[in-house]
Amino acid sequence: MYFIVRVTASQEKITSDILQNKIGNANQDIYSIVMPYGMRGYIIVEAKDEIACRELIMNEPHVKGMLPSSLSEADLDKMLAQKKEIQEIGVNDVVEFFSGPYKGYKAKVIKVNSAKEEMTVLLMDVPVQIPVTTKANMAKIIQKAESA
């Protein structure tokens, strides 16, 4: 059975490490701990039953509680499936930011780092154009670069 555990935001890694150490020190019916990408403030615990999960998280730092119902494997697969395809942003594409500090701004891409999922852009419609490096998932392509 899979259980969703609420934790302090940005403390998912620390909390899962603490819980993993606790599993190693005690003989508990816990099978895995998952930190889903994009779900800040939550981790998923695979356990034999609700009692085993509650015993694991009891009195642990950063743990805020547990959601009342368990997840089926099908629900977990849907939750962990990647929601949208990663768009292929290229040099000279024009993008528009839909989140973050540059929300609403348009920019021209001057460099892409696929490994880090980052891009360096020049903001348009600003008096001084300074290169800004930001995450690629904060913007959408509004105009592809023309092929030569």
Looking at residue 139, which CATH number applies to its domain?
2.30.30.30
Say yes or no: 10 and 75 in one domain: yes
Which structural domain range is residue 61 located in?
A: 2-80
Identify which of 45, 49, 39, 69 has the alpha carbon closest to the alpha carbon of residue 57. Answer: 45
Q: Does 87 map to a domain?
A: no
Give the single-character DSSP code of 71: B
Say yes or no: 122 and 55 in one domain: no
Per the CB < 8 A criterion, the answer to whether 106 and 95 are in contact is yes
Cα–Cα dist 55/53, whole Å: 5
Q: Which of 53, 80, 107 is the last residue of a domain?
A: 80
Q: Does 148 map to a domain?
A: no
Say yes or no: 22 and 73 in one domain: yes
Cα–Cα dist 109/37, whole Å: 26
- Total number of domains in the chain: 2
Q: Does 58 map to a domain?
A: yes
Supply the pLDDT for residue 123: 94
Q: Does 86 map to a domain?
A: no
Q: Does 88 map to a domain?
A: no
Say yes or no: 75 and 139 in one domain: no
Q: Does 69 map to a domain?
A: yes
Dihedral sign (CA 68, 74, 77, 81): negative
Cα–Cα dist 139/3, whole Å: 33
Residue whose pair of structure tokens reads 């779900």 in the numeric block:
39
CATH of the domain at 33: 3.30.70.940
Per-residue confidence of the chain (148 residues) as pLDDT tens digits?
999 999 998 899 999 999 999 988 776 789 999 988 778 899 999 999 999 999 999 999 999 999 999 988 888 887 776 544 456 888 999 999 988 888 999 999 999 998 888 999 999 989 998 899 998 888 899 998 876 4
Q: Does 85 map to a domain?
A: no
Say yes or no: 99 and 35 in one domain: no
